[in-house]
Structure 1
Amino acid sequence: MYIGFTYRIIRCCTILLLAVCSSLHVHAQEQKELLQLAAEAYARQEYATANIFYNKVAAVKNGKGITAALQERLAKCNQETGHFNEAAYWYREWLKQPGCPSAANYGYGAVLCNLERYDSARTQFQQFITFNADSIRLKQLALQSCDSAIIWKSDTDNLPFFNMESLNTAASDWVCSIKNEDIILVSNGRRRMLFAGKKELHPAIDNRTEEPFYKPYQYSAYKSGDKTFFEGNACYPELLDKYHYHIGPVAANMAGDTLYLTMNVQEGTIRHDPVNGVRRLKLYWSAKRNGVWSKPVMIPGVDQDGFSSGHAALSHDGNTLYFVSDKPGGLGQTDIWYSEKQPDGNWGTPKNCGEGINTAAAENFPVINEDGLLYFSSKGRVGMGGYDIYIASGNKDHWGSPFHLPPPFNSGADDFGMVLKSSGIEGYLSSNRPEGCGSDDIYYFMDILHFKRYKQVLPDLKPIPVRTPGQRKGTNIAVSVPLKPAAPLQLTKEEQADICQLESFNFYFKYNSASLETGSVAMLAQVEDIMKRHPGWKLFIIAATDCRGTDTYNIDLSALRCFTLLDYLRKGGIIPGRLYYQNIGKKGIVNGCIAGVPCTGAQHRENRRACLKVIYR
């Protein structure tokens, strides 16, 4: 009995031991397969996919025996996919390992900058030890960026800046251009949405992000009460719906009859072995003839086999094409290049924009908002972390020193794609800031002194020359221009009548808006006619608000109302040099309807107005 009992115990223990060994073997085999799949995805720069596999391996290990190599890959995958808090955690774990390379300090410092923890980031950069000349320069740049970012954060401009939640998805969204006040955006979060009665139930997935491929969309704004809504559709569906993979961004010439498209190579197949499977981005163009778009073709001479090109931006005259490429001959990872239009309509051999724009790191997202200015993002200059937005004046390969935009335009995250509306004081940019709705989000901003502030450092800037040499942040903008000539001039009866008519106009605005009432829009056509009869005259526009809202808000709102009239008259052929303005906010109340005084809607309306003064010779 005793012997039999002992035998049964030994037999059970043997079976249990075999089961444990078998389980361990299965887990070990599973980990090996996961690590192999992760390594293959990582080699293809499919960081989102690699991150999933590496996290599964870490979960199986349950915190025990996680190697330094695994911690390094988890840190870098999370960093590349914008998961900065997770990346910071794995960098900290990696740095605890004996013999951890000093490069981990640099990577950790970069992630801390993304999280805007600049003091801690500076400590990590100081601990980065290197004897390589390029790395020493990177270290110095990083330390200078930390010091500058601390100063910039302490002096952030207080201007309207907010997340466009109505436009953003849980994935990635960014504005690439504005077409007739419509927003052209690129998104990988809309493929499953319903557009024109159609939607993609099972869109193809990009393994680099684990999200669908990008596609362009066009959105129009409309008002309902006091709220703004957006209605969208796929962009150029008759042309682009037949194509696959990444489509966008899209740029058009001024006439709107030629498109410049960034798309993945469509033709042929690609290998899918462990380290291949890359479909390069290329620049295509399409022309509209007799109402029909031609089939997109690669731009001859611009693209180079084996390398990517994209993100087209056109000069206003349509003769210079700027784009991004990783082709040989550049200064860094990706550079901004340009090509000039030839007499036969084709594009010439690309040239690098040079050290005035490009660095040893990555430059991307070129935008032309005003002639003679390039807005772009860079990782290789003094900044706040990730991609930062800069403005440079010049053209082709001749540029002044780029100007770094202060917060809130830039942050520790990636900031890019700054596009201005026609007013020149409103616009959009995109960022993967932690407080966003998705990966990359669209943000709206309004900066009434955008041109004035940057003209001080960008002397070649030629905006609408409204004379605004005043103070910022809630103060009245004083404009020093003569409202009457120094010596009286003898005016004809016709001139006197025209001045009387111009100065009698009151242009009324909708509540809490810079949009004109319908009747006021009609009056602007009369203003155009009179000003065209008197080419020597100038106009002084004065805009006001009612008493509701703060002083600062109403100063900004009255500036927007000025710009509504400026923009309308400029489009009507009145050159900007003939236009001046003053935004006076609540100081323009004409009927005693001030704060605390009960007033009707009609009485408030009397104060939501702009009027004109004539400056004549």
Structure 2
Amino acid sequence: MKNFKTLLFITLMGSLCLTAQNNDTKRADKEFARFEYVDAAESYLKLVENGKGSDYVYGRLAESYYNIFNTVEAERWYAKALETSNDPEMIYKYSEMLKANGKYKESNEQMEKFASMRPSDNRATAYRKNPDYLPKILEQGKKFNVQNAGFNSEQSDFGGTLHDGKLYITSGRNDSRKTYGWNEEPFLDIYTLTENSDGGYDNPTLVNSYINTRFHEGLVSFAPDGNTMFFSRESYFEKDFEQDSLSRTRYGQLYLFKATKLKDDWDEVESLSINSENYSVKNPSVSSDGSTLYFASNMPGGYGQYDIYKATINDDGTIGEPQNLGQKVNTEGQEMFPFISSNNTLYFSSNGHLGLGGMDVFYTKEIDGKMAPIRNVGIPISSNADDFAFIIDEVSGEGFVSSNRDGGMGSDDIYTIKKLQPLCDVLIAATVLDDKTREPISGANVSLYDDQGNKVVTKSTNADGIAEFIIECEKDTELEVTMDDYESRKVALQGTSDEESPVQISLSPIEKIITPEEIVLNPIFFEYDKSNITAQAAFELDKLVQVMNKYPELVIKATSHTDYIGSDSYNQRLSQRRAKSTEQYVISKGIDESRISSEGKGESEPKIDCGTNCTDEERQMNRRSEFLIVSGGPESQE
């Protein structure tokens, strides 16, 4: 009974609020009904500012902005309206706006709500076919062949760096050594193996005592001249540790060292300046040009437990200041085992990025000082166990990865790998040129869209007219190029597995679309029986706005036409709504309302008078928008 009374009270209050809304929103509602979305939005906003906001007002605000493709404001007010509303269609539109603003995770969360409310809706079923990241990782798999290396022991074995005809690994197979408490295995040493006639490796041999100590040694990496080796070692060797006064347990760090090759062996071991008693540095990897050292560290100021850093290797062999690779690479979890390959692809292991479980192997590349999107290498390199110490020769496609996955010989095993297919990254190098002079255009905005039509990122062209992007291979994409005084262009790119995909885009002066009578745009399409401005329509109308900004005396009349399908009265009403939406979009971009008017012509002025026997092409030509110059054209302003 109590619940019933509560429900009755809420229903009565809702009715009172609705009545009040109708009185308060009369002006705004009238503007909305007239498709004057710019004015309607302003009127609804005033209600909010005067403390008369409500679910109804928030929803109308969102719809106003949605209809003129103001995605930021539409997102904001859909979110506000949905604090108490549970309307499925509003949830779907909110998801669209989030996606348009690049908020894919939030968009998916709203799509999940929508799909649960309307499971038979085609939009819901399409989403449910690919709801999260796991299928993507699994589907991109089988890029590598992975085999147990065969030289693993019953203890921990990992790494795999080839140098001077030998394979360097780290192993706990030395049973004569004492064990350590972490896994009750012997302390780790660095070993070398030699290649046999079958292409495998055998004859494991301890590296000399200058390198191996009674403490842990870890992964190695070599400078390109072959005379310097970087490796990890515990700080106990340096007598650098703390001791708990109660348990008498020693707490040390991991340090990086370098050794110099003298004749046929390693000597002159030196601790690096980046070491500290306050944190660990480990997992070295030297770039192919010898200029940069990559490593993992838990030094203060990072984003998680261990982060990946880089530091300059100076000409005199000293190491510069560590530089964190940033939050795109590093997470609140652990990022370790960096490997920088010969083509400057950075591979690393992480349990913070989306993966299959444990530590997975990921890769990225630095472009224009920024890291490309982080990609999971996929199965069978990544698994639901810990997968780490990935190393590859980009020329041969061969390398090694270490893992504690099921089926190995010890706690960690080394696996040989062979790349079968290219990894899913393609470098798009877009060059923007002036169509007449063929000179590069600097400062043009180039936007990358994914295969779902979502804007991913926007870059400006450099002095050579070039903007570069890294995308996933075999994915269709689109580039949109805009520049002051030039006509904007969109270029569709077909998915490829090539490592690089160069493309030239020529821009024509904006005057190309101006005739003495009208502004000629590409066809502006509306969805069936709808009048809201779509992304495609917005792209074309932005050209009109560009022209009107350049020629401030220009006055335009926008007309909308239909084909013969449907009744005269229906076509007239539909064309009027579409013409009004077009007008409102232009006004929303800052053009004074006195400079643009609109009129729906219905089917009264066909481009081709073909009656009821029109072809599909003729009907399409009749379904058009025109932008007539009323006054103030370029010629009159000369």
Range of TM-score over shorter length: 0.3 to 0.5
Higher strand share: 2
| TM-score, reference length from structure 2 | 0.44
Mark the structure with the bigger radius of gyration. 2
Higher helix share: 1
| TM-score, reference length from structure 1 | 0.45
